[in-house]
Every structure is written in structure tokens, then in C-alpha cells.
Amino acid sequence: MPVTRLRRMTIDHVSGGGSISALFAVPQGDRFRMHTVLCDPEREELAVLAADVDNAYPALTPDCWAANWFEREIFEQCGVRPTAHRWLKPLRFQPQAHGVAAPLAGLADFFSMKGEEVHEVAVGPVHAGVIEPGHFRFQCHGETVHHLEISLGYQHRGVERALIGGPDRRSLHYMQTLAGDSTIGHTGAYCAVLESLGGIQISRAAETIRAVAAELERMANHIGDLGAMAGDVGFLPTLNYCGRIRGDVLNLTALLCGNRFGRDLLTPGGVRFGLDDARRAKLLQGLDEVEKDLQSAVPLMFNAPSVMARFEGIGALTADLGRRIGLVGPAGRACGLGYDVRNRLPYGAYRFDTVPVVTYPSGDCFARAYVRWLELEQSLAFIRRQLSASGLESEILKACPALQPCSLVVVLAEGWRGEICHVAATDRQGRFAFYKVVDPSFHNWFGLAQALRGQQISDFPLCNKSFNLSYCGHDL
């Protein structure tokens, strides 16, 4: 279709309450082909639009804020200019497809303010804690943040380019390490891509084990986030408890496959390890202990007035703003946006066991913490229901045939941070012509920047922890 029609349909879709799951361009001869993946959660529908472009097209961003970072990525990777986009700064500081060398990471034209008592604060990419590198540039008047600009790209590894021509022996490893704390989420999406292109349906037992692993991953990270938020406001009991409880959940994942992050559990065609009665009993016993400890650690934090004074009203985002910028996951649901892939576009075991959508309207740090707490309770209940099934140690793996040539597939999954989107297309030989990954952090980093507007700069660590976004998942 003409690019003007793609633009209009995308803008109308987002204005009507839909979302952009992916927007990217790939080389097509001497031109580029733009692809847009649109999601309509209410209708439970996906749409894929495509249009060929030369070196420029009319930008979507002025009329559709959710397209902002996607269009910056298109310009950086392909050199295709979205005209009327006001600031096409690099996202990842990577080489362009047409041979232009990459700029040095961090060298960018940052927004700045001038005036009395106006000052600039630069944080990172090297941080005081053992965390990933990223640069944060604050424009402040006194202690109040008027603008936060986030510059990433220090973790760029070229994963998407390395996948072209695959799948091969390295491809699964790339997915398992794309974002280390989301091993199950991204590996599951990758396996679904290959299974769809190979035309196979995995067994119910394999679907069950995958879902259990995904919920354990969600639990471990939500528990870690709640503890980190407690630590940032100086509430040490919950911080210390959650650090240990998170380790207990990681050990339950290790009980499934021998690895605490779930590596080598999922593989195209199913899973590598079944679940016998003895290990299932250990899992259920471990979940009982985790739940008991959580009931001691987390409500203690929420019942502390000193904690609530720091959580409530801090870093608040409205539902309207969250929808316009495309927030996903707990950050979006904490604004009242009722979108969860497991519920709206169910897949795998979620087709047979519905997970209710948890929302909270205030959009602040408390809401982001409370949504995590409610999702923890749901994950515990879901895992127990799934472990009541029988036959989880047989027929767990099927052979995955060669991929269909000249095909395109879109997979959505709900990682613990939110919507994960994988888009792959094969060439005439059944190899990857391109492979696109959109981590939920790609949607949400701009949300963190918006949450700091009007806040005290001392609120940044807490707001940052309340989002807890992935640097390497964004940088790929």
C-alpha cells in the first residue's frame, strides 16, 4: 500500500484505542519496506501493514507519539528520514544499513534549558550500583526536574543482524541472552516463531511447563522489584526479605531445568525437561513457602506510613498519556490500561486458563508496586492450577521441521515487563530474511522520562526502580 495510507491507518488505529506492537523498515532492493504491526486488544486482533519507501516519508510522530522511538530507530538503521520528526537522535549509536559509520555512544545533541537557578545533572553511563550502562540527562530548576532525556545504546550487540540467515546453532542462545532476566519470555516467543513457520503444534504438557516457567520468571522479577523499591525508600525489612525470596523462586526455576534463569528449558518443538511427580511436589511445597514469606514481607511495606508517603503521588502518569505514548506491562496497567497479552490475545496454556487483567488507576510508584503484588498472587494461583495437570513428563518435545519459505509471522507474548513482539520473515530458502524484536522496555523508557517531569530529582531512583526497564533488551 502507499506509505501515506499506512500512515493514516496507523494514526487512526492508535487514536481509536489500539497500539503499535512494531514499526520498522528493512531493505527491499534499492528501496526499503516499512512494516507496521498493529494490535487491537479489545477486538483481539492483529494487523500487519507494509509500504515501500525511498529515502523519506511523512512522519507519524507529530500525530502519534507512540511512533517516536520507532521512527528514530528507522532513521538510525536505514537512513530513511521521517519528515517533520523534530529530533532524530540515535537510539543505539549503531552503524546504518547503507554503510554510514556509527557515532560514538553518548555523543548527542541533548535538550538544554537556560535561566536563573537552572542547572543540568548528568548521571551515567557508569553508575554507583552493579547495573547496566545508560545515560540520564536532567534539566532542573532548583530540585525540580523539568525534563529528563535518556540516552542508551551502550549494550548494543547487533542481535537482529546476527539472526539474519538463521536459524542456526547460535540463534537459540541469542534469544536466551537477549535480556538475561527475560530468558523465558524471549525464548518462548522465538520458539513460537519457529513452530509457526514449521507448522507444528506443541503438546499440552510442553505448553504447561512453558507457562509455569514464564510465571516463575514473572514472580522472581516482581519480588526483586518490590524489594528494590523498598530499599530506595529505606525500608530494609522488605528489601532483605525480598532479596532472599527472589532467590527461592529462582531455585524453583532451577528445579525445572537446572538453570535458575531457565536457560535450555525451552526449545523449538517444546521443552527439554519434563516434570515428574516428585519434582512437582517439591515445586508446590516451595510455592507454599514463598507465599507464606511474601505475606509477611510485602504487606508490611504497604502498611508503613513512611513508605506510602514516598510511593503515593510520585512519578504519576495518566491513562491518557500512557495510551498515547504506548506504555505496556505493569507500567501501563498501573495507569489503568487493561492490556495483558495473556488475557487479550491468549496463547499456549493461557488459552485454557484465563489470567485476569490487574489494573490500578493512580499511575504512580505505589500503583506500579501494587500491580506487581496483585500479579504475584495471580501467578501463584495460576502455577498451582497448572501443576494439577497430569502427564507433564511425556510427549514434551516434537521435531521442528524446516521453515516455510517466503512467509511472515508475528508473535506476541506477555513478558514480566509487558508485551514482547517478535516478527520474522523467511526467504526462498526458508532462512530468516529479517528478524525484528521489540522488548517491552522499548515502549516504556519514554514513559520513565515523562514520569520525572515536575518531580524532585531525588525521586529518580525510586521512579527508575518502579519501571525497572531493560537496557540490553532495548539496545539489542
Span 195-235, pLDDT tens digits: 999 999 999 999 999 999 999 999 999 999 999 999 999 99
Span 246-283, pLDDT tens digits: 999 999 999 999 999 999 999 999 999 999 999 999 99
CATH number for the domain harbouring residue 169: 1.10.645.10
Report the alpha-carbon angle 87-91-92, nearest 5: 150
Share of residues in the chain with pLDDT > 90 (%): 86
pLDDT at 474: 96
Residues 76 and 169 in one domain: no
pLDDT at 284: 96
Span 112-144, pLDDT tens digits: 888 888 999 999 898 877 789 999 999 999 999
Span 429-465, pLDDT tens digits: 999 999 999 999 999 999 999 999 999 999 999 999 9
Of 83, 101, 132, which residue is a domain's last? 83
Span 59-113, pLDDT tens digits: 999 999 999 999 999 999 998 999 989 888 888 887 765 556 667 777 778 888 8
Domains contained in the chain, number: 2
Residues 66 and 213 in one domain: no
User: What mean pLDDT, rounded, does the chain reach?
Assistant: 94
pLDDT classification of 323: cutoffs 50, 70, 90 = very high
Domain of residue 8, residue span: 3-83
CA–CA separation, 466 and 96 (whole Å): 33
> Strand, coil or helix: what is 169?
coil
Residues 73 and 191 in one domain: no
Best CA proximity match to 279, nearest among 262, 257, 264, 260: 257
Residue 390 has pLDDT above 80, yes or no: no
Of 83, 109, 144, which residue is a domain's last? 83
Q: Is residue 447 part of a domain?
A: no
Residues 73 and 173 in one domain: no
Residue 336 has pLDDT above 80, yes or no: yes
CATH number for the domain harbouring residue 38: 3.30.460.80
Residues 66 and 173 in one domain: no
Q: Is residue 143 part of a domain?
A: no
Best CA proximity match to 153, nearest among 440, 475, 468, 441: 475
pLDDT at 100: 61
CA–CA separation, 356 and 338 (whole Å): 10
Residues 78 and 175 in one domain: no
Residue 168 has pLDDT above 90, yes or no: yes
- Return the C-alpha torsion angle 377, 379, 384, 389, nearest 10: 150
Share of residues in the chain with pLDDT > 70 (%): 98
Residues 343 and 222 in one domain: yes
Peptide bond into 125 cis (omega under 30): yes
Q: Is residue 123 part of a domain?
A: no
Q: Is residue 308 part of a domain?
A: yes
315, 362 Cβ separation under 8 angstroms = no
pLDDT at 98: 59
